[in-house]
Structure 1
Amino acid sequence: MLVETVCSAVSAAGLGIAAITAYRKRFLAATRLAAYSLVPVGLVMTGAVGWISDIAFRPVVWAGFGVLALAWLLFMTTRAVERRTTGTRKERRAAKAAQRDAVAPAASAPAPGAGRSTAPPAVAPAPAAGAKQPKKAADEDFSDIEAILKKHGI
């Protein structure tokens, strides 16, 4: 009964302020004030005020809100830790799929000397002191890179 009286008084005061605002030719603000002023009466008429007051004065309800807040806090903490320690969900799924589809490395890749004889390469005799030494494999790799760079004008 007290809640209904207070809500009616608040609505009446708000409508009075809206009327004064409309008298001052501020119709948009007056309309907005009238809308806000009618909310408490509407809540009383729908019975929502009684429901809210029942919730507000029950300790069990507040304990329930506390438990929900704790659950939300734990959930968000685990999400934050998960994001900090690993990549995105997409990256984790890709890693799991790669682990699941992985095959033994020896079975999936050809041997380094496949198609060649397994005997060690013959060692060439040492060249004479004045002769040029043959290029090494690494030098050949760099010569290919140099050729590509020259081709592009770099």
Structure 2
Amino acid sequence: MIAETVCSAVSAAGLGIAVITAYRKRYLAAVRVAAYALVPIGLVMTGVVEWLADTAFSPTAWAGFGVLGLAWVLFITTRAVERRRGGTRKERRAAARAAERPGAVAPAASTPGLAQGSRPAAAPRPAPASRGDDDFSDIEAILKKHGI
């Protein structure tokens, strides 16, 4: 009941502002203000305000929003895990079946010279350069270029 009264007052005030704006010969702005002013009363007439008021003060409705939030978090978590594993279960099964078929090229054996299921040897890591020389060599080159 209070929400309907507030919405009606807001609409009346908005229509008053629209009339004042139209009196000042700003008709386009007046029509726009009138359109905005009619929204609250339209929401009251359709019953949306009553539904929102009932929902805002209903513990069951808030519990429902909590359940929806939990469902959303679970969905997002499963999508993140799915991406991390490299696809859906269906995609992984299809890849495993393709690897089991004779004559099929398995994803691990696509590199020439590797046996099926073996991993390539790790590439040797280059020796780390000394930090002092490597860090300032670029700076020294820039300073020499500018004659400093």
TM-score by length of 2: 0.58
- 1:65 partner amino acid: F
Q: Does 1:32 align with 2:29?
A: no
- The equivalent of 1:99 in structure 2 is 96
Q: 1:33 and 1:86, CA in 2 relative to 1: closer, same or farther beyond 3 A?
A: same
Q: How many residues align?
A: 101
Aligned to 2:12: 12
User: Which protein has the larger Cα radius of gyration, Structure 1 or Structure 2?
Assistant: 1
Tell me the equivalent position of 1:82. 82
CA deviation after TM superposition for structure 1 residue 104, in Å: 4.7
Identity %: 68
Q: Please, which runs of 5 or more residues in structure 1 have no aligned partner?
A: 106-154
Distance 1:4 1:100, change over 3 A: same
Q: CA RMSD in A?
A: 2.2
Stretches of structure 2 that go unaligned for 5 or more consecutive residues are: 104-148
Give the distance between the partners of 2:28 and 2:73, measured in 1 at CA.
42
For residue 108 of structure 2, what is the aligned residue in structure 1?
none
Query: What pairs with 1:137-152 in structure 2 (closer than 5 Å)?
Result: none
TM-score, normalised with respect to structure 1? 0.56
CA positional deviation for 1:27? 2.4
Corresponding residue number in structure 2 for 1:23:
23
With over 3 angstroms needed to count, the CA separation of the structure-2 counterparts of 1:103 and 1:47, relative to structure 1, is: closer
Q: Flag the 1:83–1:8 CA change in 2: closer, same or farther, 3 A.
A: same
Q: Which residue identity does 1:4 align to in structure 2?
A: E
Matched residue type, 1:7: C
